[in-house]
A and B are shown apart, each in its own frame.
Chain A
């Protein structure tokens, strides 16, 4: 179990320190600072063992969050908790920065008391937390006794993430499929590794205690449906071609796992407001939105010619946005000339790269950039390692091929039906680590 939790700024100064168990001493704070933050060599492992104490850390911009334990805990659980902690803090005061943490330290201690008890993670649902941890100061006198007891019964009840008696005039539901696509491609265009990690994020404004059911083109479900309804020939042919194989997935606590295990159907009573319904990963049949074709030629010792072509590979009607191609330059670059047909390109010396930005690009198009890099001869015999060309973009579809088939809402007590709920679905595909070797 987690023995303590520390938050440091980039200098290694402790901003927040909360110890939950006696086996963690005060010196643990310094041990992490000395051995990880101020380590001579950058520490790349997120888990560090110092003197039989394990430190799990995540970094958000310049802030270090470290969970400490002496026991043999489930590392995945600890990281899940740390991420959740970041989410909670972000939903309370926005960006996690030194300033924000300093300004909200009382709130953070209050949150830490609530979401972690003797090192065991508790309810970390933002919606639920917000009902009783507020930033408005002491509100107790304005709350009626009834409301207070309601909070208690809700937090300790079976459905801790949703309180009763929510009412909306307009029942609305927003569903985002957010995916990030990761790729490593050889210079010849061979895919060396590719996967998509996606999230289904929802925002629900529904009255009462509705029961929702979410359906997507999961291969297993579709195959099963196809087998079950042999008579439905037409359905089979339409659904068969566009199903995806999900490698693994995790769900929000509101999803009934037993039902998923038995029927593979996703049914749940949604929390109110923002939440992440599920996370998943796929590795097969990924639609790669862009193809990068690099061409690097070394002309003597003092010159390098680079030509990069990008091709968009999706429906012409769709528009990709925020495209950025980053072409690394050798360390002894002394000057760069760039010509590009579209967008803007610039040599950024501080990052040792040429950054080419294109605002928008439609599908099935191509564009190219060529650059001449002048080099300064050095007495260093090491050859340039040629780091891969990386790319960032945003496309309005899911590169994994995931499609939302339905999202049904049932509320038996209040009389609104599935048809009355306004539903919005959006797909956003972003680049993760999208690299092509050159």
Chain B
């Protein structure tokens, strides 16, 4: 590029800049700038024409002032004039100004686009490059609209210079990333792939970035690139370091290109063609071999480039996950890096190993490095590396080394960095649970965990330990003993007190035989912690006390005394006071039998996914990736477990040697009698059914909590085709909703504003009568208010009964209500669930508006979340009349003469709900050639846009 020569340097600019630099204060600087701006304004006034040089100089000054943080509101025109200059420096400054300062909605954009077009069509490669750089720098939608068609042409044209091709490829990549919908695939795509064969390495490097991006969106179209990439890669890898001239970087041939090729290959599965695959494996082996060779240079750039390729190759190997030999070699290579001097390498090695650990082929190989990793965890100075080491330990853990790893992590926890403690705690808790060989070990581990890092133990962890202890009667005694011992410590963490209170309250009797832990000793121990605890813990302890009264009648007097004391019965906290009062009364009034029934031992919890695992997944820490990967592996393992344990899935208490703590077995349902402390554990069951919720929430009335009626006749799950049925009714109101051999259901509905009425016609197609015919609508009460009239329980053969359903839309909703129909046909119970065809668009109120109004509103709703857009293939014909009918059926007003393109459809409507009205604008752009639609929806509420868009996309 022609550098600015001495004579061409702008003296005025240099003077101005040095003036500014010399300013003593901000005020002086502003004064100087004001003066300069006035000067430029007077020069730009337009009475006399300026030559290119001074124009360039002043535009430069303006640019400098802008970069200092001042507003520039003139000079754009002069900059645009510079674009048409024939001098490189002037053109360059013009483009610079425009890339920095011109915002996309400026009226000058047409002029600019024109100038860019001229430059693109000129034969001068430097000018073309400048124009392409400007397009890429601005990268706005307007730019994309104007040039998205032009650039691919330049890119694939045979006579384009190499440097221009490079710029064009990168420019296209930028436009594609900014507005993917405007860069349309076409016949050029196949030719882009062939750029991989280009002579010029720069072009290949630029093109491959583009191809990687494009192929990650539509891999099928670029499938051919795999074999090309492999052959290119093998040519580079096998070449001598001097072959590639300019593209050899510190003795490494074309490192960037190699990395990009390897990354492109990661978008695709392993090649099926044997020859290609062989060649690729050969390449990967060569790369691994090269890593073993002594370095050709001592410079850090050499090793960096080499390692970059190596790491990409390893991630490709991991991605393929099919070559055991390569996987093991990669693992060994990484093992060497684990002890490397360079911190970054150690970090990367640990990170890659995390993913390697999840592959079945290399898991064992990874495990051999356990000592090194543990060492890294302990001695590494950089906290991020330690974090990776912890992740890797977590990933490589299995039954064989669980004890060691958990022990190491626990001991590390005492000195761990605060930022990773919580995650470490969760990991320890999960590993302990997953690989627990015997429960006493598990209980020990978790109690240790609470002792060491009590502050970082989240609720879920101690909920979980209690859940497991309750469900497993073989550990209860041991747990009680351990907890009792742990509580002896003078300073206990509150979480420990919670676990202690709960477990002793339930199973204190199991250790009461020992005089050292007699009931009174237990109680005194617990009560000594009482005053140091927060309110929820105190509440839990009070519940534990009342349980003590049941377990050990001899403590009754003492405990009643405690409950009766002013600090309990007159506690300022309502919850505590209520508990104290109620427990006191309960203990003094109720007979032992009643007491024993009410304060019965907690029933086992239903098994479910470990809440801790859910918590770890929620934590979007840097370790999230490994967690995800881990998940897959774990699922496999669990399935194995279940396969092996098929014979004893009953809720027996025989402990299986491989403890199935995370098992998905269905346990006995929670019975209603979960008194008192149950409420504290309710959080664990985030998805608990109504039974559990009512038992837990109903805390103040826990004595009268009625056992929930067992739902023996649960509604059947909705039919698989019910979604399709629903889609059928998006644009129409009447029709046949469902039909089988027995029953036909017709529907007729009308909607006005936020109200709707639906007539359902149930037709008995048989000659036998339906008995106990019963329908229920299960809706979301928050969204829809649905009122049904009951139907006659008898439907005669061949007869039809009618049911009226009134619907009121309270607020916008997504899921349709369910209609459940039950009847007996010849003694057999029929149970059908359907989705009622009530969709949000039913509450549309059409709105007529003029074009100007429409576009004004359209612009008002310009926030990204207000818009929903879908591009999809037509699944039916693209008949205009049919489309119109459908759009009208949707409930919106079809607006004529609004869109400049008559092909497009524009609709407007207001969705009426009780809570609010949601204005909604719609634009459907059919593309007849491609058989595609683009549907854009804008509304004042994001959920509405999305839902209506989803609904409509299914219709065309």
Chains A and B are bound partners? yes
| A contact residues vs B (CB 8 Å cutoff) | 10, 62, 331-335, 349-352, 374, 376-380
Question: Knowing A374-B45, A376-B41, A376-B45 touch, does A62 contact B25 (C-beta < 8 A)?
Answer: yes
* Chain B residues near A334 (CB-CB < 8 A): 38, 41-42, 44-45
Interchain CA distance A374-B43 in the complex, whole Å: 12
* Chain A residues near B35 (CB-CB < 8 A): 349-350
In B760-786, the 8 Å CB interface with A consists of none
* Chain A residues near B107 (CB-CB < 8 A): 379
A38 to chain B, nearest CB (A): 10
7 more A-B residue pairs beyond the given contacts A349-B37, A352-B34, A377-B74, with a C-beta to C-beta distance below 8 A: A10-B26, A349-B35, A350-B35, A351-B31, A378-B73, A379-B76, A379-B107
Q: Are A62 and B24 in contact (CB under 8 A)?
A: yes
Question: Knowing A349-B35, A351-B34, A352-B34 touch, does A332 contact B24 (C-beta < 8 A)?
Answer: no
* Chain A residues near B71 (CB-CB < 8 A): 380
Question: Knowing A349-B38, A349-B39, A374-B45 touch, does A332 contact B32 (C-beta < 8 A)?
Answer: no
* Chain A residues near B32 (CB-CB < 8 A): 350
Between A and B, 10 residue pairs with Cβ closer than 8 Å are A10-B24, A10-B25, A62-B24, A332-B74, A333-B41, A334-B42, A335-B42, A349-B39, A350-B38, A380-B71
When C-beta atoms are compared, the residue in chain B nearest to A98 turns out to be B24
Tally of B interface residues using CB under 8 Å: 21
* Chain A residues near B106 (CB-CB < 8 A): 379
* Chain B residues near A331 (CB-CB < 8 A): 37, 73
Interface string of B901-932 (1 = CB under 8 A from A): 00000000000000000000000000000000
B564 to chain A, nearest CB (A): 46
Residue in A10, A374, A379 whose beta carbon sits within 8 Å of that of B74 in the complex: A379
When C-beta atoms are compared, the residue in chain A nearest to B44 turns out to be A376
* Chain B residues near A376 (CB-CB < 8 A): 41, 44-45, 74
* Chain A residues near B38 (CB-CB < 8 A): 333-334, 349-350, 352
* Chain A residues near B31 (CB-CB < 8 A): 350-351
Q: Are A335 and B45 in contact (CB under 8 A)?
A: yes
A-B residue pairs, 9 tightest by C-beta: A349-B38, A380-B73, A350-B35, A350-B31, A334-B41, A378-B73, A334-B45, A378-B74, A349-B35
Q: Are A379 and B73 in contact (CB under 8 A)?
A: yes
Interface string of B354-380 (1 = CB under 8 A from A): 000000000000000000000000000
In B1-51, the 8 Å CB interface with A consists of 24-26, 31-32, 34-35, 37-39, 41-42, 44-45
* Chain B residues near A332 (CB-CB < 8 A): 41, 73-74
Which of A10, A333, A377, A379 neighbours the largest number of chain B CB atoms within 10 Å of its CB? A379
When C-beta atoms are compared, the residue in chain B nearest to A40 turns out to be B69
When C-beta atoms are compared, the residue in chain A nearest to B32 turns out to be A350
| B contact residues vs A (CB 8 Å cutoff) | 24-26, 31-32, 34-35, 37-39, 41-42, 44-45, 71, 73-74, 76, 106-108
A384 to chain B, nearest CB (A): 12
A434 to chain B, nearest CB (A): 21
Interchain CA distance A62-B29 in the complex, whole Å: 14
Interchain CA distance A377-B45 in the complex, whole Å: 9
Interchain CA distance A315-B76 in the complex, whole Å: 55
Interchain CA distance A378-B24 in the complex, whole Å: 31
B26 to chain A, nearest CB (A): 8
B120 to chain A, nearest CB (A): 25
Which of B38, B45, B73, B106 neighbours the largest number of chain A CB atoms within 10 Å of its CB? B38
* Chain A residues near B45 (CB-CB < 8 A): 334-335, 374, 376
A64 to chain B, nearest CB (A): 11
Interchain CA distance A380-B35 in the complex, whole Å: 20
When C-beta atoms are compared, the residue in chain B nearest to A302 turns out to be B45
Interchain CA distance A379-B38 in the complex, whole Å: 17
Interchain CA distance A332-B106 in the complex, whole Å: 19
Interchain CA distance A10-B24 in the complex, whole Å: 8
Interchain CA distance A374-B42 in the complex, whole Å: 9
* Chain A residues near B25 (CB-CB < 8 A): 10, 62
Interchain CA distance A62-B24 in the complex, whole Å: 9
Interchain CA distance A192-B681 in the complex, whole Å: 69
Interchain CA distance A286-B26 in the complex, whole Å: 37
Interchain CA distance A374-B25 in the complex, whole Å: 30
Interchain CA distance A333-B43 in the complex, whole Å: 11
When C-beta atoms are compared, the residue in chain A nearest to B106 turns out to be A379
* Chain B residues near A333 (CB-CB < 8 A): 38, 41
Interchain CA distance A378-B32 in the complex, whole Å: 21
Interchain CA distance A334-B48 in the complex, whole Å: 13
When C-beta atoms are compared, the residue in chain A nearest to B39 turns out to be A349
* Chain B residues near A335 (CB-CB < 8 A): 42, 45
Interchain CA distance A243-B24 in the complex, whole Å: 49
B74 to chain A, nearest CB (A): 5
A43 to chain B, nearest CB (A): 12
Interchain CA distance A359-B130 in the complex, whole Å: 58
Interchain CA distance A351-B27 in the complex, whole Å: 10
Interchain CA distance A413-B42 in the complex, whole Å: 74
Interchain CA distance A10-B41 in the complex, whole Å: 31
* Chain B residues near A378 (CB-CB < 8 A): 73-74
A327 to chain B, nearest CB (A): 15
Q: Are A350 and B34 in contact (CB under 8 A)?
A: yes
* Chain B residues near A352 (CB-CB < 8 A): 34, 38
* Chain A residues near B74 (CB-CB < 8 A): 332, 376-380
When C-beta atoms are compared, the residue in chain A nearest to B107 turns out to be A379
When C-beta atoms are compared, the residue in chain B nearest to A62 turns out to be B25
Interchain CA distance A10-B34 in the complex, whole Å: 21
* Chain A residues near B26 (CB-CB < 8 A): 10
Interchain CA distance A334-B41 in the complex, whole Å: 5
Q: Are B34 and A349 in contact (CB under 8 A)?
A: yes
Interchain CA distance A378-B135 in the complex, whole Å: 24
B945 to chain A, nearest CB (A): 31
* Chain B residues near A62 (CB-CB < 8 A): 24-25
Interchain CA distance A135-B131 in the complex, whole Å: 69
* Chain B residues near A377 (CB-CB < 8 A): 74
* Chain A residues near B76 (CB-CB < 8 A): 379
Interchain CA distance A335-B34 in the complex, whole Å: 13
When C-beta atoms are compared, the residue in chain B nearest to A329 turns out to be B38
Interchain CA distance A333-B39 in the complex, whole Å: 10
Interchain CA distance A332-B34 in the complex, whole Å: 10
Which of A10, A332, A349, A377 neighbours the largest number of chain B CB atoms within 10 Å of its CB? A349
Interchain CA distance A332-B75 in the complex, whole Å: 11
* Chain B residues near A350 (CB-CB < 8 A): 31-32, 34-35, 38
Interchain CA distance A67-B200 in the complex, whole Å: 67
* Chain A residues near B39 (CB-CB < 8 A): 349
When C-beta atoms are compared, the residue in chain B nearest to A349 turns out to be B38
When C-beta atoms are compared, the residue in chain A nearest to B102 turns out to be A379
Interchain CA distance A334-B44 in the complex, whole Å: 8
Interchain CA distance A376-B75 in the complex, whole Å: 10
Interchain CA distance A62-B28 in the complex, whole Å: 11
Interchain CA distance A335-B32 in the complex, whole Å: 17
B25 to chain A, nearest CB (A): 5
A113 to chain B, nearest CB (A): 31
A415 to chain B, nearest CB (A): 57
Interchain CA distance A378-B78 in the complex, whole Å: 12
Interchain CA distance A223-B71 in the complex, whole Å: 59
Interchain CA distance A332-B40 in the complex, whole Å: 10
Which of A62, A331, A335, A376 neighbours the largest number of chain B CB atoms within 10 Å of its CB? A376
When C-beta atoms are compared, the residue in chain B nearest to A335 turns out to be B42
Interchain CA distance A349-B41 in the complex, whole Å: 11
Interchain CA distance A41-B42 in the complex, whole Å: 30
Interchain CA distance A376-B76 in the complex, whole Å: 12
Interchain CA distance A10-B71 in the complex, whole Å: 24
Interchain CA distance A62-B107 in the complex, whole Å: 43
Interchain CA distance A333-B38 in the complex, whole Å: 7
When C-beta atoms are compared, the residue in chain A nearest to B77 turns out to be A379
Interchain CA distance A331-B74 in the complex, whole Å: 11
When C-beta atoms are compared, the residue in chain B nearest to A377 turns out to be B74
Which of B31, B37, B106 neighbours the largest number of chain A CB atoms within 10 Å of its CB? B37
Which of A332, A350, A374 neighbours the largest number of chain B CB atoms within 10 Å of its CB? A350
B143 to chain A, nearest CB (A): 19
* Chain A residues near B24 (CB-CB < 8 A): 10, 62
